[in-house]
Structure 1
Amino acid sequence: MGYWLFKSEPDAFSIDDLAAAQTEPWDGIRNYQARNFLRDEVKVGDLVFIYHSSCKHVGIAGLAEVVKAGYPDDSQFDPESKYYDPKASPDNPRWYRVDVGFKQKFAQILPLSAIKQMPDIQQLGLVKKGHRLSIMPVDEKEFARLLAACQADGASASAEV
């Protein structure tokens, strides 16, 4: 099993949106390294932290599970989409997505400031200078530590892991 952190701006798509939909494609990724993760490494059953960024309360907001492995992101073929890529074609897709299923919304967001203060969180891209990927792997031990911190502030708002 793999462990990941997916960033999203909550005004575009939040943990609450995922909770309402239950399953949703994670699309619109337009960074090659993040694309490679989605296409080649993210697998069904992997656990994913949903991280709210570019907002008032930045941090880990909930948990999802990958329910469909990487497949071409159809928005790249749609000229009306803000994610349209004229260099992509169905025969030669450039961008990929996965489907994620809702698992849990945490009672409180685990803020980036708290994550940065955890001495045992050293590998996570969030704590490294200049690391701005929207999709990033999380070390298994660091995932367990972060999950424990997310769940330490009381009962989760919904389903247990």
Structure 2
Amino acid sequence: MPRAIVAYVRFVDRLNYRVGRFAMYLLFVLMGILLYSSVTNILRQNAIWTLEMAQFTMVAYYMLGGPYSLQLDSNVRMDLLYHRWSDRTRAWVDAFSVFALIFYLVILLYGAVDSTTYSLTYSERSPTAWRPYIAPIKIVMVVGIFLMLLQSISFFFRDVARLRGEEI
């Protein structure tokens, strides 16, 4: 494989590894928010921001952790026939099916960028009592989708290399 492709795959893998490891710690942030919410509810001092902040943290957790879980191959796969195939057949199927994922992610990214632009232009806020701005979490979603797209392209390059008898 050309050096540029190998460098791309290694860069994307390192980037998604670091972002994914960071995203793992968001689970502790989420637990802290929910613990704070529980304590304030017991003390009858309801914090109006906790539910929505927990939702935002959860969105960041799975959007930023998605490319990492894809990288670790911990995603769910319909494995009726896949495990019986040879590595070469798997590489062919993966190289072909990754195009469906890339197509989906490009459309998703287009919609996410459009929605984020709207949020930034009109200072969109949540319709709840807390009324936080929505743009920051939409930006996180755009970043997560973009990282997933980069990881999918990286997988395509790996499959092509495997078909050529090489490993990246």
Higher relative contact order (CA 8 A, sep 6+): 2
> Which of the pair is proportionally richer in helix?
2
- TM-score tier (shorter): under 0.3
Larger radius of gyration: 2
Normalised to the residue count of structure 2, the TM-score between the two structures is 0.22
